[in-house]
Chain A
Amino acid sequence: MAKKIELSLDGVTATAVLHEQEAPKTAQKVWDALPIDETLRHVRWSGSAGYILAPALRDPSFPLENRVSYYIPLTLNLKPEHGEVAISYGPAQARDGTGNGWATHFATLEGDATAFLEAVARAQHEGKKQLVIKRKES
């Protein structure tokens, strides 16, 4: 049975499925690092997404898996060089001041995540928020 994680932000909770087949090393690394409690900010270059920087996930030598540049809404994407996990609620891409980059798509929100994604989007207008990610035990 697929491992799942629970994300809590601004009083709203959502569940995501880890992609153990497509991104096995990253999914395990994230699982082992939980719980994660970090500040979520809105991205400044990448579009419609919020992100956290998790020191436990930072490893510049860690390989990319299930590689993406564009972040599809509902997806969780890791840039291991920064330990950056981006959560997309609309059109978004792994970008910085120099151009476009790559990330590992390692999990996807399931069910109706509308309220959660609205909370992510509000970070642009309301500022930073605290995000907690923990294992969802079945």
Chain B
Amino acid sequence: MSRRIEVEVAGARNTFSLLEEWAPRVTAILWDALPLEDQVLRHGKLSGDACFLVVEHPSFTQLPERNELAVTSIYKGYMVANLHPERGSMELLISYGLGEYRWPDGRRYVTPVAEIEGDGSALYAALLRTWNEGQTKITLRRSA
């Protein structure tokens, strides 16, 4: 059974199942780094309906240098990671609609790490609100 994490944004909570078969190393390193509390969550400006946070942790220097399963689409309810082992950080993005990971010079690849479980409507609404109301806080923790 997949490990599960809880994502909380402005009072809205959902569990996500880690995509361990697709990204065993990244999900294991993320799991070991939890909890990541009160991180700054901002709306993206290039990737569509998606918010992002940049997290640092000493163990993130052990992240793979290449994506474990490279994708560009960020489907609704999915969490993806842009890996930066050289900086000991990763950028995590969560989509609430139509998303594709892009930079100013075009599409880039990311690694999918988690998929939402159940009704995500409250979480999606909280993510969308960052577009109109500005940045907020996000917590990622292990789910019991």
Contact = CB atoms under 8 A, between A and B. Distances in A.
Do A and B share a complex?
Answer: yes
Interface of A: 41-48, 91-93, 95, 97, 124-128
Contact of B42 (A43, A45, A97, A124): A124
A48 B103 CA distance: 11
Nearest to A42: B45
Contacts of B135: 125-126
A82 B134 CA distance: 24
Given A91-B104, A97-B100, A43 B45 contact: yes
Interface residues of B, number: 18
Contacts of B48: 44-45, 97
Contact of B46 (A41, A47, A127): A47
B42 A41 contact: no
A92 B100 CA distance: 16
B131 A127 contact: yes
B132 A127 contact: yes
Contacts of A42: 43, 45, 131
B58 to A, nearest CB: 27
A128 to B, nearest CB: 5
6 contacts: A42-B131, A45-B102, A47-B104, A95-B46, A125-B42, A125-B134
